[in-house]
Amino acid sequence: MCAQSVRERAVDQPQVMIVAEDAEFARGIVARWQSERTIPAFTLMSSGVWQGGRAGNWKVALVGSGLGEPPLAVLKALEAHGRPVIYVADDAAAAQAARESFPRLLVVRRHEGWVDAIVVLASEALRHAEAVERAHKAEQAAAQLHHQATLGRYMLEMRHSLNNALTSVLGNSELLLLEPGTLSAGVRDQVDTIRNMALRMHEIIQRFSSLDAEMRFADNHPAAEPGKDGRAVAARAAD
Chain segment 67-80, per-residue pLDDT in tens: 556 678 888 888 88
Other Cβ atoms less than 10 A from the Cβ of 107: the count is 18
Residues 6+ apart with CB under 8 A from 46: 1, 2, 3, 19, 20, 21
Residue 232: which of 217, 219, 220 has the closest Cα? Answer: 217
Question: Which residues contact residue 78 at a Cβ distance below 8 angstroms, ignoring those fewer than 6 apart?
Answer: 19, 53, 61, 63, 85
State the average pLDDT for the chain.
Answer: 79
Q: Which of 35, 41, 42, 39 is nearest to 20 (CA)?
A: 42
pLDDT attached to residue 234: 47
d(CA 125, CA 106): 10
Are 121 and 86 contacting, i.e. CB atoms less than 8 angstroms apart? yes
The secondary structure element, H or E, covering residue 133 is helix 114-177
Q: What is the pLDDT of residue 138?
A: 92
What's the pLDDT at 135? 92
| Burial of 194 from C-beta contacts in 10 A (0-12 / 13-18 / 19+) | middle
**CA max distance for the chain:** 102
CB atoms within 10 A of CB 201: 16
Please check whether residue 39 is in contact with residue 1, taking contact to mean a CB–CB distance below 8 angstroms.
Answer: no
Output the pLDDT for position 139.
92
Please name the residues in contact with 35: beta carbons below 8 A apart, sequence gap of 6 or more. none
For the stretch 117-156, pLDDT in tens is: 889 989 988 888 888 889 999 999 998 888 888 887 887 7
In the chain, the domains with their CATH numbers are 4-136 (3.40.50.300), 141-238 (no CATH)
Contact predicate 128/84, CB 8 Å: yes
pLDDT confidence of residue 208: 79
Residues of the chain with pLDDT under 50: 1-11, 53, 226, 228, 230, 233-234, 237-239
* Residues in the chain, overall count: 239
For residue 3, the model assigns a pLDDT of: 43
